[in-house]
Amino acid sequence: MEISSSQNERIKFVKKLYRRRYRDEYGLYLAEGLRLVEDLCVTSSVRELYYTKKLTVSERGRRLLDRIAAGTGARVYLCTEKVFGEISDTDADQGVLAVLEKPQPVVDWEPQLKQGMILVLDRIQDPGNLGTIIRTAAAAGVDGLWLVDGTVDPFNPKVVRASMGAVGKLAIASVTAEGCVALCERLGLNLAAAALGGAVPYYNHDFSKPCALIIGNEANGVQPYLLEHSRAKVSIPLANDVESLNAAAAAAILIYEMVRQRRFMQL
């Protein structure tokens, strides 16, 4: 049977998951769209799937539906277009939305440090920025992300969408600024901060040793406490009176400088 009422209890439950409070309470998050759900099926556990007949029009959509219905143990719900519109967060939905289990938090970070690269995000606010940074970090092989208190929820639906499923491929933890510094000391990571004043050009800094790189808030940069405890401050030289780069663009440049130096040192 199709779910045809927006007052259905399952529909009410999905709507709750657009709020961080309930995502944290239930340990669940949402992903919408064919490609995104396909990708997250590989790395995350699907608890529920909501779809419309639109999904079954294509062979690809039917394959996804069969795969989830047969192989994951997820509960699958057919919805009318109108009801699906109540839980959709996109302008042109593809008729599929998944409820997934959030990954278990990392307790011991030492085994995670295979490349010796941690990215610290200090109060990043824009979901698009965070999602793009997560995707870049995963592509570059960063060992994990530490999100300092005040950073947007990585399981916000807009972040999940911008990450293109990478949120399920990377170890992510929430930390306080003090906890970040303590972890760096315990794990032997050099803490470096992206900054404007009193900083060296990023290509002159030695990123070849295990390190944690901080990208700061879009408007205010890295907070004073983390700057004070950073062993180095690095900047990206800018021309043509450009004051700063988008946080995601700056993160991409610095992440791949870390990767470049490590590969160079291995030659």
| Residue range 194-230, pLDDT digits in tens | 998 889 999 999 999 999 999 999 999 999 999 999 9
In a domain, 1, yes or no: no
Contact status, residue 57 vs residue 79, Cβ threshold 8 Å = no
Task: Report the domain count for the chain.
Answer: 2
Q: Three-state SS for 215?
A: strand
Judgement on whether residues 94 and 114 belong to the same structural domain of the protein: no
- Domain match, 93 and 120 both: no
Q: In the block, which residue shows the tokens 């050099």?
A: 190
* 8-17: long-range pairs with CB below 8 Å, 24+: 8/83, 10/48, 10/50, 10/77, 11/79, 11/83, 11/86, 11/87, 14/48, 14/50, 14/87, 14/97, 14/99, 15/86, 15/87, 17/99
pLDDT value, residue 72: 72
Average pLDDT for 234-252: 95
- 141 in the same domain as 94: no
Domain end point (choices 101, 131, 157): 101
Asked if the structure places residue 4 within a domain, the reply is no
Which among 58, 73, 101 is the end of a domain?
101
Same domain, yes or no: 149 and 30: no
Q: Which candidate, 154, 157, 156, places its Cα nearest to that of 174?
A: 154
Q: Is the domain of 191 the same as that of 234?
A: yes
CA distance 170 to 73: 24
Domain CATH number, residue 64: 3.30.1330.30
Question: Do 129 and 254 lie in a common domain?
Answer: yes
Same domain? For 88 and 118 the reply is no
96 and 23 belong to one structural domain: yes
- The predicted-structure confidence for 159-187, as pLDDT tens digits, reads as follows 999 999 999 999 999 999 999 999 999 99
Final residue in a domain of this structure, among 54, 84, 101: 101
Same domain, 78 and 130: no
HSE-up of 4 (CA within 13 Å, CB side)?
2
Residue 235 covered by a domain: yes
Within a domain: residue 3?
no
pLDDT of residue 265: 52
> Do residues 169 and 46 both lie within one domain?
no
Same domain, 166 and 230: yes
The answer on 184 and 159 residing in a single domain is yes
What CATH number did the domain enclosing 181 receive? 3.40.1280.10
- As a whole number, mean pLDDT of residues 92-109 equals 93
What residues make up the domain containing 26?
9-101
Which pLDDT value is given to residue 266? 54
Q: What is the mean pLDDT of the chain?
A: 94
3-48 residue pLDDT tens: 999 999 999 999 999 999 999 999 999 999 999 999 998 888 999 9
Quick one: pLDDT band at residue 267, thresholds 50, 70, 90?
very low
